[in-house]
Copies of this chain bind each other. A is one copy, B any other.
Amino acid sequence: MRLVKAAALFSGGKDSAYSLYKALTQGYEVKYLIHNVFDFPRPSPHTVNIHVVERIARSIGIQLVKETLDKGREKEQLGALLQRLNVDVLVAGDLYLEEHVKWLLEVCEATGVRLYEPLWVGDSARCEQVLNEEVQCGIKAFICGINTSYLNLELLGRVISPELAQTIITLSRQRGFDACGERGEYHTLVLEGPMLKRPISVLSYRMVKSEGYAYLVVESFK
């Protein structure tokens, strides 16, 4: 049986790692991890840690493709990349943000690629279950960025344990944010999990506060 050849969007965070894992266990042959570098107004907590994302990808054993998407040309450029990679399927880790999936569907339709969204739950309330599943499947996600309007600075640098997942869920209910951080409430880097051959250990980092966000730039790891 010929496997489906896929590329997976990969920030380095828990949701993209978990969606990749689901795709792999469902028989997709994921040939590439695509890390999109957007022309954001502020630093992306993932892209400032691209050296860690590269290491995660090496530990997963799938080639990482970093693609800079210019403002106004994002769809066109991502579409061109998918064609260049010659994949049948694009795996993405969206949970319920319809506008984002619509955006990806337009890219995929224009290039004849099928979009696969293994984490889609369609509703923020159901993200709690996804977070629990991620923790239960063994993903150790290091919190590398937070929106300080929703979350306390003290979460930075913590690894999401089952207990911390419950704390995040409780806070998300109290403060009205998404338990998985789907709207950027928090960001993670996957240090351990069933998709990684070897766990990653963070040895040093810098913390920076910036306009309502705070993030960690990992300086060394092993």
Residues of A within 8 A of B (CB): 153-154, 156-159, 202-209, 216, 219
Contacts and interface: CB of A to CB of B under 8 A. Distances in A.
Nearest to A221: B209
B209 A206 contact: no
A46 B196 CA distance: 37
A214 to B, nearest CB: 9
A209 B205 CA distance: 10
Assembly stoichiometry (copies) = 2
A205 B207 contact: yes
Scoring A204, A206, A207 by chain B CB atoms within 10 A of each residue's CB, the highest score goes to: A207
B206 A219 contact: yes
The 9 closest A-B pairs by CB, nearest first: A154-B158, A203-B209, A204-B208, A205-B207, A206-B206, A204-B207, A157-B157, A156-B157, A204-B209
A157 B207 CA distance: 10
A197 to B, nearest CB: 23
Nearest to A205: B207
Nearest to A161: B154
Nearest to A201: B209
8 contacts: A153-B202, A156-B157, A157-B207, A204-B206, A206-B206, A206-B207, A207-B207, A207-B216
Contacts of A209: 203-204
Contacts of A156: 157
A202 B153 CA distance: 10
A219 B38 CA distance: 28
Contacts of A206: 204-207, 219
A53 B156 CA distance: 23
Contacts of A203: 208-209
A158 to B, nearest CB: 4
Nearest to A218: B207
Contacts of A219: 206
